Amino acid sequence: MELIDQHVINDNKEIFAKIQHELHHASSEILLATGWFTDEDLFNILSEKLDQGISIEIIIADNQDNEKLDFNQLAVKGANVYKIRMNGYGVMNQKFCVIDKRIALHGSYNWTVNAKKNNHESIISTNHRETIDTLIKNFNEIKEKINEQKEDHAPDNVATTVVPQQPIKVLERPPLKVETEFENVLDSMIAAEVKSFDRKLLREHGFERCSANNGDHQVLYKAFDTLYSVFINEIDAIDDKKRRLIAKIEEFKAISQSKLEKEHELTVNFLEQESSDSKANLEVKGIRLSAEISSATQSIKEIKESKIPYSEKENAVLDKQIKVAEQESVRPKFKWFEFIPVVFFNIALFSYSLIFYSSAAYILLFGVEDAKLQQAQNIPTAPAQVFNPEALSLAMNKTGTAAIFIFLFVCIPLAFASVDHFVKPQHKKLVAILGFVFGILVLDGAIAYKVAQAVHEMNYAQGNVNVPWSANMVLSDTNFYLVFVFGAFGLVLFKLAFKKLINIFEERNPDIIAQRNQLRIKHLSEEMILNSGKIMQLEASMMLIEKDILQLKAGVQQTDIELRELPVRLNQELQKKRVQLLRDVESIDRIAAIYTMHIQSDNLPISIDALKDRINVFLEGWNDFLHKEYAIAKATNKTTQAAEVAARWQQENIHVRKIDKRVKIPQDV
């Protein structure tokens, strides 16, 4: 279970230090979303991480504050920089950073100097997997919104995206409406020069006028007419004021044209750099595609000339071996040099087992009885041993079936040693194990025990030992080990020799030869099928590679087309920018000339807002008297009446165009 490391940081310095620390330790990826980004220290860290090959994606709001840092520098180094507009999606107010998909920093902290030094901020630092996954998902959703916004506003490029081996797309500000902006500035200059008035004096005049008429709103029409006449008279500029205005217009015209030329120069440099980068990217892409085509072609050649022929050659060899196996039905040549020794060892081991176990059987049956009889007859005898060489002759002299039993007794251990050859093949292993356990270990152990006991009792009857037999003596009795070892070794060796003899005859069995050939043919056929499957897979792989080669060649052709079209597109863009520059410069010249002519002919254009401003200041003084003189309810009522009169006066004079033509009225009024 993953240990969650999560804590809240409330101190701005600690927040900044934490962000610095995590950025410095980033090893693969940084995802950042912040509404405002003006902190140059953090900006420089991101630039350093780009130099180290770290993948960086940044989402910021498209506002004036975010123009303080040149994010194009990060884009040129490989960062993906996205700017989202305020309109359509509300204010971009996200503040989070995900580093290497291992840690997330999110809270109220924008990456700004103000947040670092002045604000009261807090963030949460966490490695909680679900939180990190949610923030990454949120980051991708914002990118999708930016792409949708980009599609909806195709003329205005919004997002800056730099992807390796793709043409670089850098964010451009929306085209400025040069004429409108220039006119607005000139209007502001003229208004500042012409419409300046003593606001305090005008407010006092409204107070006095209201006082003189006891707040009678019916006199306001005449008061507004007087106010309007004074306003129009002040528009007529004196010579000194004209010279100042004309000089300011010329100065601002020069500044505006210089600004346009600088912006044009920057745009041209950017377009040329973008074209150069795109060309380099396309050339790299072409080289990469050509290398992939060469590699794919080499793979096809290797499959055709090496892998498929090798598998086909293997199949040919296997087919030949199958045909040979189908024709093989002759018995192998009899191996006399092997057969004679095997027969000899079988006879010898059989004879050994017959003599050894017949001696053991005789000792078991008659050894003790013979020893007691000899002792009774005072016949001197040698100490009893585990092997009696006269066992067979003595057994023949016994009456009844003693001799037959002794001979049949020998068959029991021999049968256990060879019983696995007389069962079905699937049972051979089990029977062989059981035969070894019961025939050699158990049976031979029991025979050894009984022989050791009989020998001891014979010696006891003859007076050679003084202690009668007991079961615990078996482990210290050497006779027990002698009988067990000589019996077990004989049986094991007989088992091996008999197995070899059976194999010699099985090798010459026509049925077994046929079965072996059929099994061999089956294995060879299965191997041929596997090789045929490999050949089919190789052919299918070759077809896929050929399809990929066609696609790669199409990519090379498309890259060549884009390389040829790149200079053409650059020239077209440069031409459009030149034409736009000339139009903007001409517009500025034309507008400046029009305003200069108006000034020289005492026809100064001034905004209607200047007149409305004077009316509002006058009404402020009027309302001051009302609230000083009357109760709140009555003062409020009279204030409303005065506002209605002002609205009617403006409706009758402004909306029906009864005022001086020099007063500029917006289209929507």
Confidence of residue 332 (pLDDT cuts 50, 70, 90): low
Specify the pLDDT at position 235.
61
Q: What's the mean pLDDT when you consider all of the chain?
A: 80
Ranges of H-type helices in 153-238? 178-194, 199-212, 220-235
pLDDT at 59: 93
What pLDDT score was predicted for residue 89? 42
Average pLDDT over residues 398-422: 77
pLDDT of residue 158 exceeding 90: no
Q: Measured on CA atoms in the order 255, 260, 265, 267, is the torsion positive or negative?
A: positive
pLDDT at 430: 84
* Other Cβ atoms closer than 10 A to 102: 15
Q: How far is CA 74 from CA 50, 77, 92, 272, in A?
A: 8, 5, 21, 18
Distances, alpha carbon 612 to alpha carbons 92, 198, 236, 607, in Å: 36, 15, 19, 9
Confidence of residue 200 (pLDDT cuts 50, 70, 90): confident
Q: In the numeric block, which tokens belong to residue 581?
A: 């520059």
- pLDDT tens readout for residues 603-625: 556 667 777 888 888 888 899 88
Identity of the highest mean pLDDT range in 306-320, 429-443, 475-489: 306-320
Residue 444 pLDDT greater than 70, yes or no: yes
**Whole-number percent of the chain with pLDDT over 90:** 15
pLDDT of 115 reads: 83
Q: HSE (CB half, 13 Å, CA atoms) of 408?
A: 5
Query: Is residue 46 over pLDDT 90?
Result: yes
Buried b (16+ CB within 10 A) or exposed e, 464-494: ebeeebeeeebeebebbebbbebbbebbebb
SS3 label, residue 127: coil
Which pLDDT score is estimated for 472? 86
Paired tokens of 302: 């290797």
pLDDT value, residue 178: 67
pLDDT digits (tens, 9 = 90+) for 546-573: 999 999 999 899 999 988 988 998 899 8
The mean-pLDDT minimum among 78-87, 277-286, 636-645 falls in: 78-87
What pLDDT is recorded for position 415?
Answer: 81
Cα–Cα distance measured from residue 444 to residue 414, given in angstroms and rounded to the nearest whole number: 11
**Confidence tier at 174 by pLDDT (50, 70, 90):** very low
Mean pLDDT of the region 370-393: 71
Q: Give CA–CA dist 83/86, Å, rounded.
A: 10
* Pairwise CA distance, residues 604 & 598, whole Å: 5
What span, in angstroms and rounded, lies between the C-alpha atoms of 132 and 438? 71
| 386, pLDDT greater than 80 | no
CA distances from 146 to 64, 151, 163, 284, 302 (A): 18, 9, 16, 29, 48
Q: Is 593 helix (H, G, I), strand (E, B) or coil?
A: helix
Residue 21 has a pLDDT of 93
Structure confidence at residue 84 (pLDDT):
83
Residue 646 has pLDDT above 90, yes or no: no
Dihedral class, residue 477 (left if φ above 0, else alpha if ψ from -120 to 50, else beta):
beta
Residue 43 has pLDDT above 90, yes or no: yes
Going by pLDDT thresholds of 50, 70 and 90, the confidence category of residue 159 is very low
pLDDT in tens, 208-262: 989 888 888 888 888 888 888 877 776 654 456 677 778 878 888 888 888 888 8
Domains of the chain and any CATH numbers: 6-150 (3.30.870.10), 336-507 (no CATH)
Predicted confidence band of residue 631 (pLDDT cuts 50, 70, 90): confident
Task: Count the residues in the chain.
Answer: 669
Of 152 and 290, the structure prediction assigns the larger pLDDT to 290
Helices (H), 25-112: 40-51, 71-77
Amino acid 17: pLDDT: 92
Query: 134: which residues sit within 8 A by CB, 6+ positions away?
Result: none
Q: What is the pLDDT of residue 426?
A: 77
Query: How distant, in Å, are the alpha carbons of 327, 374, 429, 495, 507 from that of 432?
Result: 35, 44, 5, 10, 21
Question: Which residue is it, tokens 């917006």?
Answer: 666
| Comparison of pLDDT for 513 and 453, the residue scoring more | 453
Q: What pLDDT was estimated at residue 590?
A: 84
- CA torsion sign for 168, 36, 102, 13 is positive
The least confident of 194-203, 484-493, 637-646 is 194-203
> Distance (Å, rounded) from C-alpha 332 to C-alpha 349?
28
Quick one: pLDDT at residue 664?
A: 60
Q: How confident is the model at residue 171 (pLDDT cuts 50, 70, 90)?
A: very low
Nearest to 622 by CA among 631, 612, 632, 635: 635
pLDDT at 663 over 80: no
What is the Cα–Cα distance from 492 to 446, expressed in whole angstroms?
17
What pTM does this model have? Answer: 0.36
Position 164 pLDDT exceeds 70? no
pLDDT for 331 beyond 60: no
